[in-house]
Amino acid sequence: MRRATWCAFDVSLIPGALARPYLRGRANEFALVMFSRSTCGYCRVQWPIVQRFQEEMGWQVTLMDIDRRPELAQRFGVEITPTTMVIRRGSQQRMVIASGVEAYPNLIQTAYQAVRLLAGDIRPEQFLTGAGEEDGFFDALSAGPVSATDPRALGGDLVGASLEPQQ
């Protein structure tokens, strides 16, 4: 008779396992805006996905019709619909997280990365670093300065570091 064996696995490897609680914790600080047009068929597909985000993450979500409010399209640089944007409340910070229809898991991941960047938790070089991969092989900053002009190479994180070769 064979016995079942259980394997332990890292829960952080489940897509969204780290992103979801992080985004829920930022619900009062950030909001989602989806720009649409009344004639946009893709917008009718994307809107329920954005509403699901609202229900699961507890965020404020707003639908903006740029046919009725063309000044908003110009102000936010929206040229195509649907465009979904993360906006930090009480500031000018914002970032487009979807242009066109985006699947729900991708919307969560991109919102997570955008919020981390806007909140200062990561640097732009780390935007594509996945949740739980910080300081790992895929983290652009884990191996040291990205370039000689990186602030860490100039004494930021590497205080006293010299660009001169040691003898």
Q: Where are the domains of the chain?
A: 16-126
Q: Which residue has the tokens 């707003």?
A: 62
pLDDT of residue 27: 96
Binned average pLDDT, 10 residues per bin, the chain of 167 residues? 49 64 96 97 97 97 97 94 96 95 95 93 76 62 60 49 47
Please list, in sequence order, all residues whose beta carbon lies within 8 angstroms of the beta carbon of residue 82, skipping any fewer than 6 positions away. 34, 35, 36, 40, 42, 43, 46, 47, 98, 99, 100, 101
Given this model, what pLDDT does residue 46 score? 98
Provide the pLDDT for residue 143: 60
Q: Give the architecture (CATH level 2) of 16-126.
A: 3-Layer(aba) Sandwich (3.40)
State the pTM of this model. Answer: 0.73
Task: Name the nearest CA neighbour of 150 among 158, 73, 100, 165.
Answer: 158
* CA–CA dist 123, 116 (Å, integer): 9
> What pLDDT, on the 0 to 100 scale, is given for residue 145?
56
Write down the pLDDT at residue 8. Answer: 47
> Residue 17: its pLDDT value, please?
77
